[in-house]
């Protein structure tokens, strides 16, 4: 695959990371993704959003480039890259199409990376081997009454001989309509709360008792499917337990750190797209005899957008590098997602303000940026949850009781 021969081992990328400049290998990846977004995503992003059509052709091309198993080891058909590389890829794709960025982010961060990190050799051979790199994997954690409160899961998993039987309903599953498989979280003992949660690999193919609900009609990222999963006496092999019986909660929390880097990168790409769109429009739009770009008020908005984007990019890359170095990055990931989500909304809002009425019509991408930005403050843990995580870590670090 393209990326196998593009970058050196993980350790070399990390060792040469600079806060000011990406190593040449990551610059090459960045340019490749930017070119792909300009050529393959920007021209179709509006139609995909309007129709809600899954970008299947684009995902297939991204898989050929090695972008659908970014952090998976080459042994299992992956590119063996870092979270930093994943972040850069998602940012650049989201600059062209927030929906495509979301699909790539969630598939890589929450499914492929988790299976590669925690799965047994047999599980990885089975699930990575059975499906191609363009096939989508999902992550089923949330429920209608258990979003941020993961310990409140009601989906049950019961042992039955050499099988597990799953019953319950999972909500807000991204790419559920297109997915071939998923990681599903369920409780094996509700009385243990978060200590009783386990994760299971679920193959959608020929699975009796699995029903995929209707696609939600969403405000933004409309080219992604978001559905409920209904599990009624779904029987899976005992070997499909991912990790340990009581290790599901910790596994989910560790994976959500990685997901927050992906979502923050998506938000960053949307914000960058908004900045570029606003600046290009302001350079062409004549008002009072001169381009809007010459007006101090417009320049102020552009400067504020640029500052927030630059701050976000540093936070996101810091969090990604911490993950790559094996550090506890929960605080950094929460900060990155919090700041990135607010930055995306801020940049999209100011893009619309600069463009005036043209920012409110579907002929221009500004209104799509605004709608796509909103989800980045919600999924993967709403902004209020990120603030709580940051506060708890700061209080603990300061030794205050």
For the stretch 269-312, pLDDT in tens is 999 999 999 999 999 999 999 999 999 999 999 999 999 999 99
Average pLDDT, the chain: 94
Provide the pLDDT for residue 18: 63
**Which of 11-25, 267-281, 295-309, 332-346 is predicted least confidently?**
11-25
- The answer to whether residue 9 scores a pLDDT higher than 90 is no
Kindly report the three-state secondary structure assignment for every residue of the chain. Answer: CHHHHCCCCHHHHHHCCCCCCCCHHHHHHHHHHHHHHHHHHHHHHHHHHHHCCCCHHHHHHHHHCCCCCCCCCHHHCCCCCCHHHHHHHHHHHHHHCHHHHHHHHHHHHHHHHHHHHHCCHHHHHHHHHHCCCCCCEEEECCECCECCCHHHCCCEEEEECCEEEEEEEEEEEECCCCCCEEEEEEECCHHHHHHHEEEEEEECCCCCCEEECCCCCCCCCCCCCEEEEEEEEEEEEHHHEECCCCCHHHHHHHHHHHHHHHHHHHHHHHHHHHHHHHHHHHHHCEECCEEHHHCHHHHHHHHHHHHHHHHHHHHHHHHHHHHHCCCCCHHHHHHHHHHHHHHHHHHHHHHHHHHHHHHHCCCCCHHHHHHHHHHCCCCCCCHHHHHHHHHHHHHHHCCCC
- Give the model's confidence band at 119: pLDDT under 50 very low, under 70 low, under 90 confident, else very high: very high
Provide the pLDDT for residue 149: 77
- The answer to whether residue 138 scores a pLDDT higher than 60 is yes
- The answer to whether residue 8 scores a pLDDT higher than 70 is no
Provide the pLDDT for residue 94: 98
Measured at the CA of 78, the angle between CA 13 and CA 171, to 5 degrees, comes to 105
Say how many C-beta atoms besides its own lie within 10 A of residue 161's C-beta: 8
What's the mean pLDDT in 385-393?
A: 97
* Domains located in the chain, CATH noted: 2-130 (1.10.540.10), 137-245 (2.40.110.10), 249-397 (1.20.140.10)
- The answer to whether residue 10 scores a pLDDT higher than 90 is no
Provide the pLDDT for residue 5: 46
- Give the model's confidence band at 21: pLDDT under 50 very low, under 70 low, under 90 confident, else very high: confident
- The answer to whether residue 50 scores a pLDDT higher than 60 is yes
Provide the pLDDT for residue 13: 47
Distance CA 180, CA 202 (A): 9
Provide the pLDDT for residue 6: 54
Provide the pLDDT for residue 401: 82
What's the mean pLDDT in 330-335?
A: 98
- The answer to whether residue 390 scores a pLDDT higher than 80 is yes
What's the mean pLDDT in 172-191?
A: 96
Q: Give first-to-last CA distance, the chain, whole Å.
A: 52
Provide the pLDDT for residue 316: 98
For the stretch 231-256, pLDDT in tens is 999 999 999 999 999 999 999 999 99
């Amino acid at each position: 695959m393209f990326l196998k021969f593009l970058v050196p081992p993980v350790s070399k990328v990390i060792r040469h990371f600079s806060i000011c400049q990406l190593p040449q290998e990551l610059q090459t990846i960045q340019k490749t993704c930017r070119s792909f977004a300009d050529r393959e995503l920007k021209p179709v992003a509006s139609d995909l959003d309007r129709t809600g059509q899954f970008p299947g052709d684009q995902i297939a091309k991204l898989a050929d480039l090695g972008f659908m198993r970014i952090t998976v080891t080459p042994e299992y058909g992956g590119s063996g890259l870092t979270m930093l590389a994943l972040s850069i890829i998602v940012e650049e794709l989201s600059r062209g199409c927030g929906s495509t960025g979301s699909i790539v982010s969630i598939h890589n961060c929450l499914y492929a990376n988790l299976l590669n990190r925690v799965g047994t050799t047999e599980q990885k051979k089975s699930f990575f081997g059975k499906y191609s790199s363009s096939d989508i994997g999902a992550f089923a954690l949330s429920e209608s009454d258990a979003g941020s409160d993961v310990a409140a899961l009601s989906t049950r998993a019961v042992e039955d001989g050499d099988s597990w039987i799953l019953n319950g309903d999972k909500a807000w599953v991204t790419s559920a309509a297109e997915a071939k498989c998923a990681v599903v979280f369920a409780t094996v003992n509700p009385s243990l709360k978060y200590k009783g949660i386990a994760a299971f690999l679920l193959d959608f193919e020929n699975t009796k008792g699995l029903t995929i609900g209707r696609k939600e009609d969403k405000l933004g990222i409309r080219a992604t499917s978001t559905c409920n999963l209904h599990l009624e006496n779904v029987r899976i092999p005992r070997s499909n337990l991912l990790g340990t019986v009581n290790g599901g909660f910790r596994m989910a929390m560790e994976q959500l750190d990685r997901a927050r880097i992906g979502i923050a990168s998506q938000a960053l790409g949307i914000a960058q797209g908004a900045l570029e769109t606003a600046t290009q429009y302001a350079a062409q739009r004549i008002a009072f005899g001169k381009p809007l770009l010459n007006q101090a008020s417009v320049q102020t908005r552009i400067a504020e957008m640029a500052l927030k984007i630059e701050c976000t990019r540093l936070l996101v890359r810091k969090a990604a590098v911490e993950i790559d170095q094996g550090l506890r990055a929960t605080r950094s990931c929460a900060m990155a997602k919090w700041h990135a989500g607010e930055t995306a909304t801020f940049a999209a809002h100011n893009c619309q303000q600069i463009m005036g009425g043209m920012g409110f019509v579907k002929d221009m991408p500004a209104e799509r940026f605004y709608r796509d930005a909103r989800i980045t403050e919600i999924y993967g843990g709403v902004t209020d949850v990120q603030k709580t995580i940051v506060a708890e870590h700061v209080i603990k670090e300061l030794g205050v009781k």
